[in-house]
Structure 1
Amino acid sequence: MDTTQDPRPLYLLALGQLEKLIAEATPAALDRPTPCEEYDLRQLLGHVVGGVHRLAYIGEGGRAEDVVAATGDLPDDAWPAAFERARARVTAAWADDAKLDRPSFAPWGEVPGRAAVGGYVMEAVTHSWDVARALGSGLALDEELGRAALAVAEFVLPAENRGGPVPFGPVRPAPADADATTRLAAYLGREV
């Protein structure tokens, strides 16, 4: 990833994509399985909303390890509003340009703020794919976002030594004509 770049516009674009998908998640769909085998859709939405709050907390000067992961304990119809609140918080937390170059304490260690936000671009885009698959959504995922997130993944996550402390499975094959987000999902160990 080019660390001179400002990843915030891509992150906000990724959040916009997630927001559209979360709006499709009816209460009846929340028990569906997702490509993240450990999560049903409700738990995945908890993880997604919790991740946005975690990045906000990092931007506010906190350490990622101080945030307890969300479990998905919201009323079934509350996900869009919860996501909107998280999005507003993260946008405010990272509004100051100077934070991009300050040390930040992400789940993977101390990094410049831009690297923390860049990592969460990958997270948001990947989970957009997961949510879209769980819903059977017809939403076309943004190709630019997919390419950017795949570039981050390939830069920071070697294909070897997956599992254990690295929370991704082995790289899986993707069809030759797969879009960038599907290739990202396969790179991160999803069955595509």
Structure 2
Amino acid sequence: MSDLQLAGRAATTLVEIIRNIKPDQLDAPTPCAEYDVRKLINHLLFWGPPLEGAGRKETVRPPAAADTEVDLTGGDWAAELEAQVGRTAEAWSQPAAWEGTTRVVGPTELPATMIGGMVVCEMVAHGWDLAQATGQKPDWDDELLAFVHEEVSRTAEQGRQMGAYGPEVSVPASSSTLDRVLGIIGRDPDWRR
């Protein structure tokens, strides 16, 4: 699978999850401890434009200094989030997105492959968070999960230092690729609502 297909594959499953979230589930807890469903949706809406912009080599500022300072879940949040996920996937389906360097916010340029990998991993990880919180059973293909596993394995220490990953959760070596990904990023694969 080429890098150009990764975001699209991750986005397809994330969009299915978004479409199946019911209004009465917005206050449900998620495995991402600091977020309930509404706050996680807000987080995705908040960071979507900067991540899309990074794929286009454009700096797009989020609407506030932090996602806790703004609520973007008013109105038809599901349609807005679905559209944003689609735009982000489209931006990262272009060859130029993965070339050279780019930035999300601020002056620091990072390898585009690192940011692209982060985008794909975020779609899978937060998709899983939302699915667990709302009783869904999403399915990601093996190639996509192998890519995500490689990415999070490579960036785990940096992710923890930045606060993006929690402390590693021990999972058996015989666990599925998804469960091993979840353990690396600090999620308990057995988390239940």
| TM-score with structure 1 setting the length | 0.81
Aligned equivalent of 1:146: 145
Asked if the contact 1:143–1:179 (Cα under 8 Å) also holds between the matched residues in 2, the reply is no
For 1:23 and 1:189, how far apart are their aligned partners in 2? 26
Structure 1, unmatched stretches of 5+, are: none
Structure 2, unmatched stretches of 5+, are: none
Matched, 1:180 2:142: no
* 1:37 to partner: Cα distance: 0.8
Write the mapping of 1:23-102 to structure 2, written as runs, cut at 5 A. 23-63=19-59, 66-67=61-62, 68=64, 69-70=66-67, 71-75=70-74, 78-94=76-92, 96-102=94-100
SS state at 1:167 partner = coil
Superimposed CA distance per residue, residues 138-176 of structure 1 (whole angstroms, 9 cap, x where no aligned partner) = 3334333222111100012239x935x333221111245
Aligned equivalent of 1:126: 125
* 1:40 to partner: Cα distance: 0.4
Q: 1:21 aligns with which of 17, 22, 44?
A: 17
* Segments ≥4 residues shifted beyond 4 Å: 69-72
RMSD of Structure 2 on Structure 1 (CA): 2.7
For 1:169 and 1:58, how far apart are their aligned partners in 2? 25
Aligned equivalent of 2:188: 191
Number of matched pairs = 184
Superimposed CA distance per residue, residues 87-135 of structure 1 (whole angstroms, 9 cap, x where no aligned partner) = 3432453454233213201369422323211111111111111111101
Q: 2:165 aligns with which of 146, 168, 178?
A: 168
| TM-score with structure 2 setting the length | 0.80
Asked if the contact 1:18–1:128 (Cα under 8 Å) also holds between the matched residues in 2, the reply is yes
For 1:92 and 1:148, how far apart are their aligned partners in 2? 19
Asked if the contact 2:13–2:139 (Cα under 8 Å) also holds between the matched residues in 1, the reply is no
* 1:177 to partner: Cα distance: 4.9
SS state at 2:110 partner = strand
Aligned equivalent of 2:156: 157
For 1:110 and 1:149, how far apart are their aligned partners in 2? 22
Q: Which moved more, 1:47-56 or 1:173-182?
A: 173-182
Give the 3 Å change call, closer, same or farther, for CA 190–94 of structure 1 in structure 2. Answer: closer
